Amino acid sequence: MTTGIDFGTTNSVVAQWNGDDVEVLALDGEHLEDEWFYPSFEYLFPTIAGESSLRLGTLFGWEAKLRSNRVIEACKRMLGSDGGVQLRDRRISATAVAAGVFQAMRERAASSLTSIDSAVITVPANAKGGARYRTRAAARAAGIAVKTLLNEPTAAALSYMHDIQEEGTIMVFDWGGGTIDVTVLEHKDGVFEERASRGVTQLGGLEIDRRLRELIVRKIGREPELSPEERRQFELAVERTKIRLSTEESVLTRIPGSGRLIEVSRPELEEQIGRLVERALEPARMCLNDLGMDTTGITDILMIGGTSQMPCVRRAVERLMDAPTVPAEICHPMTAVARGAAIAAAIMDGELDSFLQVSSMYALGTTAKRNDDGRRFFSEIIKPRSPLPTREKKNYTPMKDHQSELKIEIWEADPDKPLNDPENFQLTTLHVCYPKPLPRSEASFTLEYTYQQDGLLHVKATLDKTGDVLVDQEISDFTHGLTLTVDQIRREMTALDGGAPRPAPPVSVPAPRPPVSPPAGKRFVVDGSNVAWLGRDARAGDSPSLEQLLGAVAALKEQHPGCEVDVIVDAALAHQVSPEERRELEQCIRTGVVAQVPAGTEGKADRLVVTLAERKDAVIVSNDSFKELQDEFPWFLAPGRMLGVSNVGGEWVFLERRPVRARRPGTGGR
Ligand code: ADP
Ligand code: MG
């Protein structure tokens, strides 16, 4: 599947290209509790891990957010330097926690019958080299091949421009959970160029939550006495109050412990955070200033991120820019970035006839020593913001005669800053041996860097005098200092399961592209209740299994690539499966994975299965013979109209079957 992932610091979102359009996945909606069911929240996967005293292993997504005693915000920590996080009695890298988040998203996708094997992943525009490499390594450790890393504002603009199809100068005002980032991009001749980007870290939704908490405590009269558990509940109640105040005029907040209700109105919150909103406008002013541009130079203003949904924020931006912002119905603050990433993936896969220019962010090069003072400096080979793929080379000479070995350091850095600037990033060191020691004059070599669109770097060094190749390799694992190898991350990930080893997911080779439209005849209508009951006996007290049904449907899709499948179940099924599966089934119904026949439908699901199959000219998948319907729909008695379902030793087998003919009155044996 062609996938885009917005790997946000607070929430992640996954979208897929389905051949015609982008679908945002309701990946974790089943774990969303009713009181968190705000518009579009079903698409969010909180980018966090958590521990619960009630559960073994690590929680992710909404479960981590709503049900854990301790929350670990992996991604945010990864963005600085990965100093590691404490998980129960162990310390593991935040990159491994992030890999766990990717893995959890991948597993949730698999249970909604889709797969994430490769993806375009977005990163904040200001993410430094280390964060980029860590994001890539985390995804790879979870078995996701990274097609390319795309900057969030570019992805948002791509999503918007996919619908609007115009050229212009776009301002992306992205105010999320932890930071605010403003970027101005130019969209011309199909190319997006980031022209200016400014941000404020530590100014996000969390800051607003803190101010709202202060306001509520003021109204209570004193700091409430809360247990650790209640403290977490209070934090969540404050965040919910804030979110509701974006659409409601006033909200009652229940204080955990005492159960007191405190009323907060929208004007009160707006007054409380007025200064924060004012500060949030600063990066927008700075971007315009950097470009020597006034507000009229901007053609479109995109409001991205959860915090930008607050009405006072939109108003403040419109006041500053003296222009309307693009409405949320056209560019959705929570999903536009993931949508743009999926569109980018579709373009890269050739599924969408469009053009996408990916550029490097930073300069790539090596270190060299100055002749005069012997000081080390960064020697640039590939310029920052080079369109990818690109290939560049440069010539170097060793410092001493007769060196038998060379150490070539590979760096991503800013050529205008000293080498030891914390934002510069050493990827690795290559150890290179000369075929034989040579005098300096004969030992010069050419270093050639090839930087691919997917962000992989290939390094080749050739001895100038003889043409001997000294090194020729891809830099895929970054073993220096800050970054772990994929194998190291996978080993650390076992700690997430509470110590139980987990099999390493294979890093998949991109699958052959599925056909855009299903080949004629490859349409199936699955009799879901029949498959869920397969091999189970109601009289013996068995229940049907949704897991079994979803497994069979996944196998059917795998055995018939590109096919179209409708799954129909009886209204009764939701009451027959286990309570855990019931939630999952409701989720499948909400997301359209499964269709449920309204209670009271004549002929129950059988009639809908057969009617739909007739209308769609589809093959019915069922072991039932629909005897009552044979007279009415004689077509399904013909060969090739039905597949039977069996599970043999865990393997799903679908074989053509002819339904058993109903006995007609008067034709019986007696
Ligand atoms: P990030 O980009 O940092 O991953 P998001 O864009 O998902 O984050 O924004 C998350 C933040 O937005 C959280 O602080 C959340 O409380 C806040 N948020 C989400 N929806 C709303 C809303 N409707 N009104 C106000 N704040 C919101
Ligand atoms: Mg975001």
Packing angle between helix 336-348 and helix 152-164, nearest 10 degrees? 80
Mutate to test the pocket of ligand 1, among 43, 307, 310, 314 (most ligand atoms within 8 A of CB): 307
- What is the pLDDT, as a whole number, of residue 508? 45
CB atoms within 10 A of CB 95: 31
Does 309 sit in the ligand 1 pocket, CB within 6 Å? yes
Q: Which of 130, 97, 150 is nearest to 478 (CA)?
A: 130
Cα 8 to ligand 2 centroid, rounded to whole Å: 5
Give the nearest ligand 1 atom to 208 CA.
14
- What is the pLDDT, as a whole number, of residue 476? 60
Q: Which of 148, 278, 259 is nearest to 211 (CA)?
A: 278
Report residue 305 as tokens: 């991120």
- What is the pLDDT, as a whole number, of residue 505? 53
pLDDT at 33 over 50: yes
The mean pLDDT of 556-582, rounded to a whole number, is 87
Does 305 sit in the ligand 1 pocket, CB within 6 Å? yes
**Could you tell me which residue, 449 or 488, shows the higher pLDDT?**
449
- What is the pLDDT, as a whole number, of residue 539? 82
Peptide bond preceding 389 in cis form (omega within 30 of 0) = yes
Domain 205-274 CATH (choose: 3.90.1010.10, 1.20.950.20, 3.90.640.10, 3.40.50.1100):
3.90.640.10
Mutate to test the pocket of ligand 1, among 7, 9, 10 (most ligand atoms within 8 A of CB): 10
Share above pLDDT 90 across residues of the chain, in percent, rounded to a whole number = 53
Give the nearest ligand 1 atom to 247 CA.
23
Give, using CA atoms, the residue closest to atom 23 of ligand 1: 243
The mean pLDDT of 210-234, rounded to a whole number, is 95
Q: What is the CATH number of domain 2-204+275-348?
A: 3.30.420.40
The answer to whether 5 and 12 are in contact (CB under 8 A) is yes
CB atoms within 10 A of CB 290: 13
Does 629 sit in the ligand 1 pocket, CB within 6 Å? no
User: Residue 362: CB partners within 8 Å, gap ≥ 6?
Assistant: 129, 384, 412, 413, 414, 425
- In angstroms, the Cα distances linking 255 to 64, 219, 236, 243, 519 are 22, 11, 11, 17, 58
Does 46 sit in the ligand 1 pocket, CB within 6 Å? no
Give the nearest ligand 1 atom to 333 CA.
6
Cα 467 to ligand 1 centroid, rounded to whole Å: 56
Residue 659 DSSP one-character state? P
CA atoms within 13 A on the CB side of 535: 11
Cα 530 to ligand 2 centroid, rounded to whole Å: 43
Cα 485 to ligand 2 centroid, rounded to whole Å: 26
Cα 307 to ligand 1 centroid, rounded to whole Å: 5
CA atoms within 13 A on the CB side of 303: 24
Q: Which of 291-300, 500-509, 598-607 has the lowest mean pLDDT?
A: 500-509
Place of tokens 């073994």: 56
What stretches of 196-252 show up as alpha helix (H) in DSSP? Answer: 205-220, 228-244
The pTM of this model reads: 0.71
**Highest mean pLDDT range out of 290-299, 449-458, 478-487, 615-624?**
290-299
The mean pLDDT of 622-636, rounded to a whole number, is 89
pLDDT band at residue 666, thresholds of 50, 70 and 90?
Answer: very low
Mutate to test the pocket of ligand 1, among 48, 122, 173, 242 (most ligand atoms within 8 A of CB): 242
The answer to whether 61 and 28 are in contact (CB under 8 A) is yes
Give, in degrees to the nearest 5, the angle at Cα 110 between 104 and 114.
130
pLDDT band at residue 490, thresholds of 50, 70 and 90?
Answer: confident
Q: Which of 354, 337, 338, 302 is nearest to 156 (CA)?
A: 337
Place of tokens 């860097």: 449
Does 335 sit in the ligand 1 pocket, CB within 6 Å? no
Give, using CA atoms, the residue closest to atom 10 of ligand 1: 177
Report residue 285 as tokens: 């002013």
User: Tens digits of per-residue pLDDT, 504-545?
Assistant: 455 444 443 333 333 445 899 999 999 999 988 888 888 999
Q: How far apart are CA 29 and CA 108, in angstroms?
A: 10
User: Tens digits of per-residue pLDDT, 41-58?
Assistant: 999 999 999 988 777 789
User: Tens digits of per-residue pLDDT, 151-172?
Assistant: 999 999 999 999 888 899 999 9
User: Residue 448: CB partners within 8 Å, gap ≥ 6?
Assistant: 391, 392, 393, 459, 460, 461, 462
pLDDT band at residue 344, thresholds of 50, 70 and 90?
Answer: very high
Does 9 sit in the ligand 1 pocket, CB within 6 Å? yes
Does 177 sit in the ligand 1 pocket, CB within 6 Å? yes
Which segments of the chain belong to CATH 2.60.34.10?
363-475
The mean pLDDT of 605-625, rounded to a whole number, is 90
Q: Which of 33-47, 337-351, 510-524, 571-585 has the lowest mean pLDDT?
A: 510-524
The mean pLDDT of 283-293, rounded to a whole number, is 95
Cα 305 to ligand 2 centroid, rounded to whole Å: 5
Give the nearest ligand 1 atom to 47 CA.
4
Does 176 sit in the ligand 1 pocket, CB within 6 Å? yes
Q: Which of 441, 435, 429 is nearest to 462 (CA)?
A: 435
Computed over every residue of the chain, the mean pLDDT equals 88
- What is the pLDDT, as a whole number, of residue 18? 92
Give, in degrees to the nearest 5, the angle at Cα 85 between 82 and 90.
130
Q: Which CATH class is domain 518-656?
A: alpha beta
Three-state secondary-structure class, residue 82: coil
Q: What is the CATH number of domain 363-475?
A: 2.60.34.10
Q: How far apart are CA 375 and CA 459, in angstroms?
A: 24
Give the nearest ligand 1 atom to 306 CA.
12
Which segments of the chain belong to CATH 3.40.50.11980?
518-656
Per-residue buried b or exposed e for 218-227, using 16+ beta carbons within 10 Å of the residue's own CB: eeeeeebebe
Amino acid at site 160: Y
The mean pLDDT of 98-122, rounded to a whole number, is 94
Give, using CA atoms, the residue closest to atom 27 of ligand 1: 306
- Could you say which ligand is closest to the alpha carbon of residue 73? 1
Does 10 sit in the ligand 1 pocket, CB within 6 Å? yes
The mean pLDDT of 477-490, rounded to a whole number, is 65
- What is the pLDDT, as a whole number, of residue 23? 96
Which segments of the chain belong to CATH 3.90.640.10?
205-274
- What is the pLDDT, as a whole number, of residue 616? 84
Mutate to test the pocket of ligand 1, among 28, 77, 243 (most ligand atoms within 8 A of CB): 243
**Could you tell me which residue, 330 or 457, shows the higher pLDDT?**
330
The answer to whether 643 and 654 are in contact (CB under 8 A) is yes
Q: How far apart are CA 197 and CA 341, in angstroms?
A: 19
Give, using CA atoms, the residue closest to atom 12 of ligand 1: 306
* Total residues belonging to the chain: 670
- Expressed in angstroms, the distance from the first to the final Cα of the chain is 57
- Could you say which ligand is closest to the alpha carbon of residue 337? 2
Cα 174 to ligand 2 centroid, rounded to whole Å: 7
